[in-house]
Amino acid sequence: MFRFSAASKSAARTHVRHYAADFPLLDELFPGTYPRLLVEGDGTDLIDSEGHRLLDAGNHLGACVVGHGRHDMAEAIAAQVRSMEFASLEAGASHPYVAELALELAGRVPVDDAVFSFTSSGSEANEVAVKIARDYHRRRGESGRFKILSRYGSYHGSSYAATTATSIPAFREPFQPLVPGFVSLPQPFPGFCPSCSFEEKSCGESCFEQTAAVVEREGPETVAAILAEPISIPGAVKVPYPEYWPRLRELCDRYGILLIADEVVSGFGRTGAMFACDHWGVRPDMLTMAKGLTSGYVPMGATAVSRRIQEAFEVSPLAHVNTYAGHPVASAAALATLQILDDERLVENAAAHEDGLRQRLEEIGDETPWPTRASVRGLLGSLEIRLPEDADAERFRSLLWHESYEHGVVLRVTRGGQTVSVFFYPPLTITGDAMDSGLGRLAAAVRQVVRATAEGSGADDAARRTERLP
C-alpha cells in the first residue's frame, strides 16, 4: 500500500491543480481541512487518510461501474503488463488485445458494423468525432458542411473542439477565441430549454421545433453533425422526453447530417441500459465513450463509427495520431470490465434501483422549504435545490459537499445561479442496503445545511464537524 507522508496534503494543495476546488472559500469555512486525501478504494467505498469510509456516490465522475479495489481487475491489468505493456497502432502494426476489445464492443454499441478509434479520454473521443464528421463530408465533395451543432447545458470535454461544443459559459468564456463553426441548440429539459420553465414536468414539441428551426436558419447544407448526450448531466440529470431522440435521428436523416451520441458518462450500464441510446432504440452514426469503458482503472476512450461513415476513409486514413490508442493495458482493463458487467448483471442492477433512487431523492427534496426537482435514469440521479435570491448559493454548495463527506458520502455538488444540484451515482455494484444507507446520510447532510441556511445562522453552525452516522 502507498505510504503517504505528512507533506502529501501540503504538496497536493500547492503543486496540483484541482478541478472546481475553491480553496480560499474552503479555508474560510473549514480551516486546515482541505484537501481531503483519499488513499484506498474498497467496493462501493473510498477510504481517506484518516481512516474514514465513504460511499463513493460521484467522486468517480461516472467512471466507476464495477467498484473500487477489485482483485480481478488488478490481476487482468498486471497480467497484461507482464505480457506486453505497450505497443502502438502505427503503420500496420497492431496487437490482439485491442482487436479482441473491438470485437467485444462491436456486439454491444448501437452503431452499425462499428469501427473504433481508440483514445485516452472522452474529450479526445469527441474531438475525433468532430474531425471525422468534417473530413467525411469533405471527402464526399461537401466541404461546405462544417458546422457542428450541440446543445446548451451539455458538457463534451476539455479539449478545444469539445470545449467549444460545451455550451456552458463558465467552461467557454475564459478560453476565447474558440473553434469556429459551432452552433448551440436547445436542451430538451425544463429549465434548460427556452420554452420550458423549471416547474414544468416535460419539455416537448416547442423544443424540437426550435431545434429544427436552428438547422433551417443555419442551412442544412452547411451542417456536418449534431453532437449530443442522450442524457446530459451538467446542472441536472436531463432525461429528454421519449420522442426527442427518434425525432432527432429523423431530422439528421432528412438533411444528411451525422448524429454523434456522446455516451462518455451514460455508457456501460449507468442508465440501466448498456448505452443510453438503447432506451429509445436510436442508432447514431458515431458514438463516443470513456469512463465506464475501463471503470476508471486505466484511462481509455473510443469513438465508434458506422461502416457507412468508415467507407469514406478506406482509400486514405484519418489524419489523427494518438500515441496511446488501443493501449494494451487499457484494452485488458476494458475487457475485464465488460466481463464483470455481464457476469454480475450490473446493467440490470442499475435498472432495478431506478425507482427507489428517484423516490428517495424526491423525499429529500420534499424536506426542504424551497423548490426542488429529482431526475433519475438507472443509477444516475440528481436533486436540484433552488435557493432564495438572498442566499449565498456558492457557500451552500461548499457546505453541502462538506457535510455530505462528514456524514460518509462523497458525491458531486454543483451550482448554476441560485440552483444547487446534488448528483448521486454510485458504482453499479451497489446493494439496496448500501444505497439506503448512503441516501440516509445524504438526507441528514441536506437537512443540516438547509436548516442553517434557512435560519440565517451562517456558516459557523453548519460547518461544525458533525458526529458521523454509524
List, run by run, the mean pLDDT of 10-residue segments along the chain (470 residues): 71 88 89 93 96 97 98 98 96 96 98 98 98 98 97 94 90 92 93 72 78 96 98 94 96 98 98 98 98 98 98 92 95 98 98 98 96 97 96 95 97 95 98 98 97 69 38
Task: Count the residues in the chain.
Answer: 470
289 and 192 within one domain: yes
Angle of CA points 262, 267, 271, to nearest 5°:
115
Please indicate, yes or no, whether residues 115 and 52 belong to a single structural domain of this protein.
Answer: no
> By the 8 A CB rule, do 441 and 409 touch?
yes
Pair 382, 322 in one domain = no
**Last-in-domain residue among 296, 316, 343:** 343
Number of compact structural domains in the chain: 2
Whichever domain contains 312, its CATH number is 3.40.640.10
Q: Which residues of 266-286 are buried (b: 16+ CB within 10 A; e: fewer)?
A: bbbbbbbbbbbbbbbebbbbb
Q: Which residues are bridge partners to 410 per DSSP?
A: 56
pTM of the prediction? Answer: 0.94
Provide the residue range defining the domain that includes 52: 8-66+347-462
**Nearest of 192, 268, 204, 203 to residue 233 by alpha carbon:** 192
Residues 40 and 131 grouped into a single domain: no
pLDDT tens digits for range 21-63 = 888 988 999 998 999 999 999 999 999 999 999 999 999 999 9
198 domain residue, yes or no = yes
Provide CB contacts within 8 A for 80, sequence distance 6+.
97, 328, 329, 331, 332, 333
| 325 shares a domain with 310 | yes
pLDDT digits (tens, 9 = 90+) for 268-323: 999 999 999 999 999 999 999 999 999 999 999 999 999 999 999 999 999 998 99
Report how far residue 427's alpha carbon sits from residue 297's, in angstroms, rounded to the nearest whole number.
13
Bridging pattern class, strands 380-386 and 412-416: unpaired
CB atoms closer than 10 angstroms to residue 338 = 22
